[in-house]
């Protein structure tokens, strides 16, 4: 146990960047091609168009009140979210503002070390007006959804979230999966700490965006890794879940 605690504390330090200074070459420095900015899409993928996220009227636009009112909320009404609200939350957490160079990097609504943006956003959509129940992936470059599998996955979501019922019974659950090589390509062993820091940036934007439109959310780091990865068809090695957050209409 003592050894595990020590190893955990070492991970929290920045000494991995000291290793980079010891002539450990990254794939970028070796001239290898960078990974894609986003997982590929195909013409026959079942897309769901999302409305303009900036067309939504905010319930609160005063940032002082938004920050002051931000808190974790687990109790939700059984009402549905609107597709306009979902579009806004997706844009707020991973929206693409511009593409730099020849698809070299993206500028988004959240910061990311080296503009690597290593996350893919997955969704369990339970009650969103205009969207069928099921599992989805957000395509940030196109601001669209891709259907992974249609159906009721309430029980599977609850089980994967260590029996936290609100994760399956809410209107929608955001699941962020990391593709580590996007960061490793540039920062090698120094990338893993920054990727988790990036996850915090993403989820905080979700909190603030929810607060601005009268919705609630609660970040969850306690989950069963393999069941959650398998639910969203992630391989668990080159892509795996790291964070999730149920969203719902407040009671």
Residue with tokens 């900015």: 37
User: 3-class SS at 173?
Assistant: strand
Give the chain's mean pLDDT.
95
Dig out the tokens for 174 from the structure.
Answer: 């955001």
Say yes or no to pLDDT of 200 above 80.
Answer: yes
| Residue range 144-187, pLDDT digits in tens | 999 999 999 999 999 999 999 999 999 999 999 999 999 999 99
Degrees, nearest 5: CA angle 19-20-23: 100
Residue pair 142/83 in contact (Cβ under 8 Å)? The answer is: no
| Residue range 89-140, pLDDT digits in tens | 999 999 999 999 888 999 999 999 999 999 999 999 999 999 999 999 999 9
Q: Which CATH architecture has domain 2-28+45-249?
A: 3-Layer(aba) Sandwich (3.40)
User: Rounded mean pLDDT of 35-43?
Assistant: 94
Quote the pTM value.
0.95
Degrees, nearest 5: CA angle 130-132-137: 100
Dig out the tokens for 99 from the structure.
Answer: 């593409």
Q: Kindly list the domain boundaries of the chain, sorted by start residue.
A: 2-28+45-249
Q: Which of 51, 42, 8 is nearest to 192 (CA)?
A: 8
| Residue range 201-242, pLDDT digits in tens | 999 999 999 999 999 999 999 999 999 999 999 999 999 999
pLDDT band of residue 19 (cuts 50, 70, 90) is low
Dig out the tokens for 54 from the structure.
Answer: 């900036």
Residue pair 112/118 in contact (Cβ under 8 Å)? The answer is: yes
Strand segments (E) across 44-89: 47-49
């Amino acid at each position: 146990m003592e050894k595990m605690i020590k190893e955990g504390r070492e991970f929290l330090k920045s000494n991995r960047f000291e290793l980079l200074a010891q002539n450990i070459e990254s794939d970028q420095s070796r001239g290898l091609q960078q990974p894609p900015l986003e997982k590929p899409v195909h013409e026959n993928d079942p897309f769901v168009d999302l409305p303009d996220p900036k067309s939504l009227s905010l319930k609160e636009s005063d940032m002082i009140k938004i920050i002051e009112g931000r808190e974790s909320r687990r109790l939700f009404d059984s009402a549905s979210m609107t597709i306009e609200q979902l579009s806004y939350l997706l844009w707020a957490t991973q929206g693409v503002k511009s593409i730099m160079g020849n698809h070299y990097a993206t500028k988004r609504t959240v910061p990311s070390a080296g503009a690597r943006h290593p996350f893919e956003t997955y969704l369990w959509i339970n009650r969103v007006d205009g969207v069928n129940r099921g599992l989805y992936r957000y395509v940030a470059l196109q601001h669209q959804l891709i259907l992974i599998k249609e159906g009721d996955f309430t029980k599977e979501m609850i089980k994967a979230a260590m029996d936290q019922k609100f994760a399956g019974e809410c209107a929608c659950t955001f699941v962020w999966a990391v593709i580590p090589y996007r960061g490793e390509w540039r920062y090698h062993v120094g990338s893993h700490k920054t990727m988790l820091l990036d996850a915090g940036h993403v989820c905080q934007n979700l909190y603030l965006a929810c607060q601005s439109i009268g919705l609630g959310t609660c970040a969850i780091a306690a989950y069963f890794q393999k069941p959650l990865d398998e639910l969203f068809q992630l391989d668990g090695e080159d892509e795996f879940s790291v964070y999730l957050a149920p969203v719902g209409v407040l009671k």
